[in-house]
Every structure is written in structure tokens, then in C-alpha cells.
Amino acid sequence: MSQSSATLLRSECARSVAPHVRCLRRVGFCRAAARAAGRRPLAARLYHVFALAATSTYVLLQLVYAYQERSDMDKLSQVMFVMLCHVTCVAKQIAFYVDAECIERLIAGLDDPLMNQTAGARGALLRESARAAARLLRVYSGCAVATCVLWIVFPVLYRIQGIPFEFPFWIGVNYDNNAVFGVVLLFSFYCTNLVAIGNTTMDAFMATILDQCKTQLKIVRMNFETLPERARGAHAAGGEHYERALHRLFKDCLLHYNRVTEMCAVLHDVFAAPLLVQFGVGGWILCMAAYKIISLNVLSIEFASTTLFIICILTELFIYCYYGNEVTVESERVSQSIYSMEWRRERPAFRRSLVLVMERAKRPLRPTAGRIIPLSLDTYVTILKSSYSFYAVLRQTK
């Protein structure tokens, strides 16, 4: 286990992303930072390169197939919704490779003592956040893997029944022979599963970071609201002067708020471009999947697999929009929480400091995709509406 992986087990906050990082390193989607890479085996580094090459090659093969079948809308839709999903995966995968140092710093920042206030209700919030992150990863990734398993089942059934089947990517060889068919099937299964596990885990990782931002903002608000009471408690328990305790706790609140702001900024800087790609093609993915599923038998395995795929895409877009929206909402409430504390009895200098912080808090954190598309529930609804509009146009022009 690398040093950074071991660190993940030392704090309550960082424990929420520990399973994500372990999974991403196992599938080769997340490499260690440069300072640790020199101590890692050459085989591990080559595996990371191989994983990126495998996903990129599969996308290129799908692109060639799409170009060849551009005049057949049924075949084009069959390859497009999967290919566009794989494109978003490659974009996020490249970000994990290129910005490994930033991601390592982001993970290490979760071990900050200010981010791990485990007493009372604050600790309950952190533990619930970690449990929710683990549930999201299991359910989301499980749904994606189930989709890929079904994708390997119906080609085999078609083969047994003697029904012609065409893989939705360019191969360049005839696979009428059972051995060649088996090799192509295994290649397809490996690439789709690699993308399914890696892509969903990257999504869950980013959603968990956003959830941590939301949780930390809740704790910041609780600390601001109870600031005078905690200062009086410190004065009564340890004999610390009340004014000194008040300013120390106030400084901790400000540092904590800055840590959350920095974490949100790093997440945006690293994943701005991949998220822009994700939201840019999200509507088209849903449109193409809907166009494909409308022609399938409701009782067929292919219909079930496409339904699971649509559920995965809807979940993918929703978790970004939901947690991004939650971060904005909690951030907007910080100023209100500062005003809710017992500030009227404090000295004028302290009250002036509160006014300055409240002015800063009036600019809430607004996670976006590429500084263009806000991660909000309104954006999610807009994508659903646009995907239906695309689908309706395609159906009319068929």
C-alpha cells in the first residue's frame, strides 16, 4: 500500500474516498503522484498506460464503426450512446493522469484536523457522509457492471440461436469462427467493464468530494452559530481568557471555511474540462439510448441492458447536479449562520470582523462544469428536456 493510501485510513473525512481511490488504482485509472511513482513497480506504471490505451483504442474503433454506418440510423444510435459515454470516461481518465499531483493534494487535504471534527453532531455528519459515499459507489458501479454483463449475454444467445449479430465497433476481421468470436467478445467485455467500473468510480469520487464540501460547510455553520457558547465553555473549562478563546475559535472557523473553498476550487480546476464534456454530450447520450430502446422488445435482454444503461447515465448526471446544488445551498446559508450567533454582546471590533466575513460569504460557492454550466438541479432538468427534444427531432426525421 502506498503512503497516500495508508493516510486515507487515518481520518474520518478521508475515509469516505478511500474505497474510490483503491478501486481506481486497481483498474489503472488513477496513478500515484510523481513523488511516489518512483517507488512503484514498472509493471504498475505500465498497467496505467495500458488502461488508458485500452479505453482510447475502444473509442477509436467505435468511431470508425460509426463513420462506416453513418447512413444507418439504427446502427449509428447503437454505437453512439456507448461511444459518447466512453469519450467522457477517457476525458476524466486523462485528468486523473495529468493532474495526479493535484488529486493527491486534494486527498491529503481531507486529513486536515479542521476537516475532521468528530465530536458530537459533527462526527455524526462525517460518518454518515462516509457511509453514503460507500453506498453510492456500490450501487452505482454495480448497476454499470450488471449492464456490461447483460451486454455479453445477448450476443452469446444470438450466436447459439443462429441469429446474426454485429458488434458495435470496427474489428477488421471476420468473426464467424467461434474462436475469433470468443476473442472479440472477451475484448469487448473487458473494455466495457473497464470503462464501467472506472467511469462510475471517478463519478462517485467527484460526487463524494462535493458531498464533503457540503458536509464541511454544515460544520462551519454549526461552529459559527455556537461560537460565543464554545468560547465561554473554553473559558470555564480551562481558564482561557474569553476574548482570547473567542478569537482563536473564530480564526479556526475562517481557516475551515477557506479549506472548503480551496477544496472546491481544486476540484473545479482539475475536472472543469471533463465535466464540460460530460454535460455537453449528456443529452445526446440519453437521446441516442432512447432512440435505440424504442425499437427493442420489452422482454429482451438487450432492452434490460439498455434500460440499466439509461439509469446509469441519469444517475451520473444527477449526482453531479444534486451535490453541486447542495454545496451552493449550504454556502449561501453561511452568512445567515454568522448572523444567528450571539454577536450583540461582543466588542465592536469583533462585530466588524463578522461583517467582513458575512460580505465574503455573500458570494456562495457555485460548482460549474468548465465555468459555464452550473451544477444544479435546474441544469439536470434542462438536460432532460433537451435530450427529449433531440429524440423527438430524430423520430420525426426517421
User: Could you write out the DSSP letters of every residue in 59-120?
Assistant: HHHHHHHHHHTTT-HHHHHHHHHHHHHHHHHHHHHHHHHHTHHHHHHHHHHTT-GGG---SH
Could you tell me if 198 and 27 are in contact, meaning their C-beta atoms sit under 8 angstroms apart?
A: yes
DSSP state of 177: S
SS3 content of the chain, % helix, strand, coil (to 5): 80, 0, 20
What are the C-alpha distances in Å from 292 to residues 185, 254, 287, 297, 389? 21, 52, 9, 11, 15
Q: What is the pLDDT of residue 390?
A: 87
Q: What is the pLDDT of residue 5?
A: 41
In tens digits, the chain (398 residues) has pLDDT values of 344 444 444 688 888 999 999 999 999 888 765 444 445 567 777 888 899 999 999 999 999 999 998 888 888 888 998 999 999 999 999 999 888 889 988 998 999 999 998 888 999 999 999 999 999 999 999 999 999 999 888 889 888 888 888 899 999 888 888 899 999 999 999 999 999 999 999 999 999 999 999 999 999 999 999 999 999 998 888 778 889 999 999 999 999 999 999 999 999 999 999 999 999 999 899 999 988 888 888 888 889 999 999 999 999 999 999 999 999 999 999 999 999 898 888 899 999 999 999 998 888 899 999 888 999 999 999 999 999 988 888 777 76
Q: What is the pLDDT of residue 362?
A: 87
Q: What is the pLDDT of residue 24?
A: 92
Could you tell me if 16 and 208 are in contact, meaning their C-beta atoms sit under 8 angstroms apart?
A: yes
Cell numbers standing for residue 340: 444567528
Full-model pTM: 0.91
Q: What is the pLDDT of residue 33?
A: 52
Instruction: Determine the distance from the C-alpha atom of residue 171 to the mean position of all C-alpha atoms in its chain, rounded to a whole number.
Output: 32
CA–CA dist 23, 231 (Å, integer): 43
CA–CA dist 296, 314 (Å, integer): 20
Neighbouring residues of 82: CB distance < 8 A, sequence distance ≥ 6: 62, 168, 192, 309
Neighbouring residues of 101: CB distance < 8 A, sequence distance ≥ 6: 33, 34
Could you tell me if 180 and 243 are in contact, meaning their C-beta atoms sit under 8 angstroms apart?
A: no
Tell me how crowded residue 374 is: count the other CB atoms within 10 A of its CB: 17
Cell numbers standing for residue 174: 471476420
Q: What is the pLDDT of residue 8?
A: 40
Neighbouring residues of 213: CB distance < 8 A, sequence distance ≥ 6: 260, 263, 264, 267, 327, 330, 365
Q: What is the pLDDT of residue 83?
A: 93
